Amino acid sequence: MKSNLISKLFGIVAILLITFMVSCSDDNNRSNGKTVVMDVAPDLVSVGVRPPGYIGTVNVMKCTVEDTNQTLYINIGDIERFEYVKGFSYKLRVRITPIDNPPADGDTNRYELLEIISKQSIYDQYS
């Protein structure tokens, strides 16, 4: 009888421990976002959306997420620790994390550079 009780108690503790670990894992995945590889075009593109009070065009980086072909238009300086230089195409590993309660007129994602996989001058192809 005593071993049966210990066995049941051990089973309950094991289930609780596994549930806790899975819960923490899901929270970490949500807070850490997702990691993607993206290609950044060598030239900036103009977009029609402008911040309030801004006169003129807004030039942004055209980024294509590999494996999905999703195109993102990201402001210069919005990928943390990445310095864009016109005339170079880049392949980057980036973590994209959704922003909790983003401002109505602001970004909904945070972009963090993890690695510059490649950087190629567009002028190298003419040499």
Share of the chain above pLDDT 70, in %: 68
46 lies in the same domain as 103: yes
Within a 10 A sphere around the Cβ of 40, how many other Cβ atoms?
A: 21
- What is the number of domains present in the chain? 2
* Phi–psi pair at 49, nearest 5 degrees: -80, 125
46 lies in the same domain as 18: no
Are 35 and 46 spatial neighbours (Cβ–Cβ below 8 Å)? no
86 lies in the same domain as 37: yes
> In the structure, what pLDDT confidence band is assigned to residue 51 with cuts at 50, 70 and 90?
low
> In the structure, what pLDDT confidence band is assigned to residue 99 with cuts at 50, 70 and 90?
very high
Question: What domain range is 88 assigned to?
Answer: 33-126
Q: What is the pTM of this model?
A: 0.68
Q: Mean pLDDT in the chain?
A: 80
26 lies in the same domain as 37: no
